[in-house]
Amino acid sequence: MSDLLVTENMTRYFGGLAAVSGVNLRVAAGELVGLIGPNGAGKTTVFNLLTGVYVPTSGKILFDGRVANGLRPFRMARIGIARTFQNIRLFRMLTVLQNVKVAAALRARQSLSSAVFRTPGQVRDDMRIHEECMRLLERLDLAQYADSRADSLPYGVQRRLEIARALATHPRLLLLDEPAAGMNPNEKSDLMALVQRLRDEFSLTVLLIEHDMRVVMGICERIYVLDYGEVIAEGTPEAISGDPRVMAAYLGTEEA
């Protein structure tokens, strides 16, 4: 399997603080990889670097063999990196279907003039996107909410909609930022099953940040542990859970 995402010494400073320093990630196509670490370890900063919200101070991001440093977020989305947010960021006043359509719009073949004059090609394209988005909602079991406003949905469903919206961009790499945060145990189990199913069905590569160890250990094939902006351990869930450095990072060392 080829590497879909590689970072080489990815570093980001905020003033004098290295939020992320010298991070080397290597994610193969089709893998389901976890990114864990204590609060403030720099996990979300890594995501923000990978999605173009921040530009790395130094180091490289390679996506599918091409350098992706410094691309604006919407470009990152267009080359195939999609994400969800730690704090849900849906388009609250839009319907579920509209939320997904916005993300699918990057594949729309329409211009401003075709849109305002509503040409037959435009109508066809809108229909195509409509049907495609409805199918996507069905696959994520969201079809019954299609016309409900996003902010009227229960919390777990909103989380699922965020994933659906990210999938509508047809990503190759899906970044999930704490998808299980705030969920009850049942919802968490559903989520784990969902992530695994989507990975197979959409032939995705998934990188996820998660605090819930049951979720991380349950679905990730490989895990990176981040502390103070550096990768302190990497390996299978079993190896990670027994690693003394990881325990030290989470629980503190005996001397401390």
Partner 1 sequence: MLWLLGRVGGVALLAACLMGISVWLTNNIETYYFLVLIQCGIAAVLAVSLNLINGITGQFSIGHAGFYAVGAYVGASWTMLWRPQLADNWPWLATGNLSGDILNLLIALVLGSLAAALTGVVVGTPSLRLRGDYLAILTLGFGEVIRVVLLNIDAVGGARGLAGIPTLVSSGNLAAFWVFGLLIAVTTLTRNLMRSTRGLTWLAVREDEVASDAMGVDTTRVKVTAFVVGSGFAGAAGVLYAHFFTGISPDIFGMDVSIMITTMVVLAGTGSVTGAIIAGMTLTALPEALRFLKDYKEYRMVLFSTALIVMMLTRPQGILGHAELGFGSFVRLANRFRRKERGSAA
Residue with tokens 């010298």: 22
Encoded one letter per residue, x for contact with partner 1 by CB under 8 A and - for no contact, window 41-60 reads ----------x-x-------
Distance, C-alpha 233 to centroid of its chain: 21
Residue from 110, 148, 189, 241 in contact with partner 1 (CB under 8 A): 110
- Please report where in the chains the tokens 């998934």 appear, as a residue: 206
Shortest Cβ distance from residue 173 to partner 1 (Å)? 13
Chain residues 64-93 in contact with partner 1, contact rule CB under 8 A:
72-74, 76-78, 82-83, 85, 89-93
The Cα angle at residue 54 between residues 177 and 43, in degrees rounded to 5: 35
Nearer to partner 1, 55 or 115 (CB): 115
* Contact set for partner 1, span 162-201 (CB under 8 A): 165-166, 168-169
Length of the chain: 256
C-alpha to C-alpha distance for 140 and 138, rounded to whole angstroms: 5
Pairwise CA distance, residues 164 & 139, whole Å: 9
In angstroms, rounded to a whole number, what is the distance separating the alpha carbons of residues 206 and 27? Answer: 9
Q: Which two tokens stand for residue 126?
A: 């809108």
**For partner 1, which is the closer residue by CB, 124 or 245?**
124
Binder of partner 1 out of 24, 57, 69, 119 (CB under 8 A):
119
Which stretches of the chain bind partner 1, using CB under 8 A?
Answer: 51, 53, 72-74, 76-78, 82-83, 85, 89-94, 98, 101-106, 108, 110-112, 115-120, 122, 125-126, 129, 165-166, 168-169
